Amino acid sequence: MPAAAPPGLWYVVVMIQANKYQRCMVMAGGGSRFGIYLGMYAAACQAGRAPDLLLASCGSAIAATIIRNLPDDAQRRAWLSSPQMYRFWCDVKSARHTGLVGTLLRAAKRKLNPGRAPTIPDLFSDYLFEMPHKLPFPPEPAAPAAVDVAIIAGRLLFEPAEVGQPRGGRKLFAETVFCPPRAAALLHGLEAPLSDPRWGQHAVARTLLTDSTAPLSEAARISIADMIYFPCQRYAGHHYIGGVLDLFPIELARHLGEEVMMEFKEAFDQTFAIPAWRAVLGLDGNHRLRYVNGQRAEVRIDTSDVSRALAREPVRQKLVWRHNRIRLDMPHSYDEFVATMEQQWQYGYERGMEAFGRPAGQPAAIRNATRHSRALL
């Protein structure tokens, strides 16, 4: 009988055999507009440049999971606007403990405080919405899929009892990539992209973690748990926040793929989003965005006008003063939901075909570049 392999030998073998993926498509967030990524992926396939790795964060983790679990575009497109997906969004409810007035006061406090994560944030009970227990994912396929998926999240390095304490220079989050062993091997030994001194005294640790054991559906659930919106998620003895920790992982994509496909994204709003980044992560989200928009990517897909082009989202926040609540405003009917999701898919497909039809080396003509999104000089 052959001797058992030494512990960790499989990992050494994978590291030796791990070659870069041919094409890595970065799916950077999207929130409830994640349907655009299914359209982009369909465009890549039609152009003969199908990615063999999807690197996803936040809302786009839903799109990546659907792509991974369903074998063809027609099935993916149908699932995007399926009754299961509609019920999921209908079941996202306001947190009972969260009042409108208190939420707005906390937002104002974040806006007025220029400190970079001055205290340990309450990501356990300070949130707006309750996430349904079951996410709307199709069953995982029995046969190997045509594309691998890596999903970004952030592991909390503090406990609930420490909430509210001064942070000092302490690091509060460790970037974590849930991914197959091949991707984990390619990332082995790397430091988190935010360890570069250019990002200042933020709250993200230098260490980059990988996890090849979590089910894809669990990784996606963790990644969509955006700070402020949803509570942090517990998995395997640790708490996690979503992919907002590294929403634009261009550095990881370059280590993972020979060719990188990535959006040129619109800037974050300065009233709510940027103060939340600063208060929780100690980062300026638009500073990071400008830097990433200036890095090399073989394919740039222009989605800088997405808020104008897709003015109607599947769900929108609604201030209900009478009941002291922030609620999600759903489409009035299932048919309206289907039309909204179809519009998302079509937008992503058209922007993708535009990008893949551009001659190599020709820069994209950006529709809505602002001082907050233009590359740093």
Rounded average pLDDT over 171-190: 97
Please tell me the predicted confidence (pLDDT) of residue 150. Answer: 98
pLDDT in tens, 33-49: 999 999 999 999 999 99
* Token code pair at residue 171: 């690091």
Give whichever of 178-187, 219-228, 241-250 has the largest mean pLDDT: 178-187
Of the candidates 238, 250, 167, which has an alpha carbon nearest to the alpha carbon of residue 209?
238
Please tell me the predicted confidence (pLDDT) of residue 317. Answer: 63
Query: Does residue 163 contact residue 143 with C-beta atoms inside 8 Å?
Result: no
Query: Does residue 240 contact residue 153 with C-beta atoms inside 8 Å?
Result: yes
* Token code pair at residue 6: 């030494």
Of the candidates 265, 274, 314, 271, which has an alpha carbon nearest to the alpha carbon of residue 294?
265
Rounded average pLDDT over 104-121: 83
Please tell me the predicted confidence (pLDDT) of residue 18. Answer: 75
- Beta pairing, strands 129-130 & 21-28: unpaired
Element (H, E) at 241: strand 238-241
Please tell me the predicted confidence (pLDDT) of residue 229. Answer: 85
pLDDT in tens, 289-327: 999 999 999 999 999 999 899 877 666 666 555 655 566
Query: Does residue 178 contact residue 215 with C-beta atoms inside 8 Å?
Result: no
Measured CA to CA, the distance from residue 182 to residue 370 in angstroms comes to 38
Measured CA to CA, the distance from residue 94 to residue 106 in angstroms comes to 17
Beta partners for residue 23, in sequence order: 259
Beta partners for residue 28, in sequence order: 57
Beta partners for residue 235, in sequence order: 238
Rounded average pLDDT over 165-190: 96
pLDDT in tens, 140-154: 887 788 899 999 999
Burial 339-371 (b: 16+ CB within 10 A, else e): ebbebbbebbbebbbebbebeeeeebebebbee
Of residues 298 and 364, which shows the higher confidence score? 298
DSSP annotation of 99: -
Measured CA to CA, the distance from residue 25 to residue 300 in angstroms comes to 10
Query: Does residue 29 contact residue 289 with C-beta atoms inside 8 Å?
Result: no
Query: Does residue 18 contact residue 253 with C-beta atoms inside 8 Å?
Result: no
pLDDT in tens, 53-77: 999 999 999 999 999 999 899 999 9
| Lowest mean per-residue pLDDT among 60-69, 181-190, 272-281, 308-317 | 308-317
Give the CA distances from residue 248 to residues 54, 201, 251, 286, in Å, rounded to whole numbers and listed in that order: 13, 19, 9, 11
Measured CA to CA, the distance from residue 266 to residue 31 in angstroms comes to 13
Distance of CA 16 to the CA centre of its chain: 29
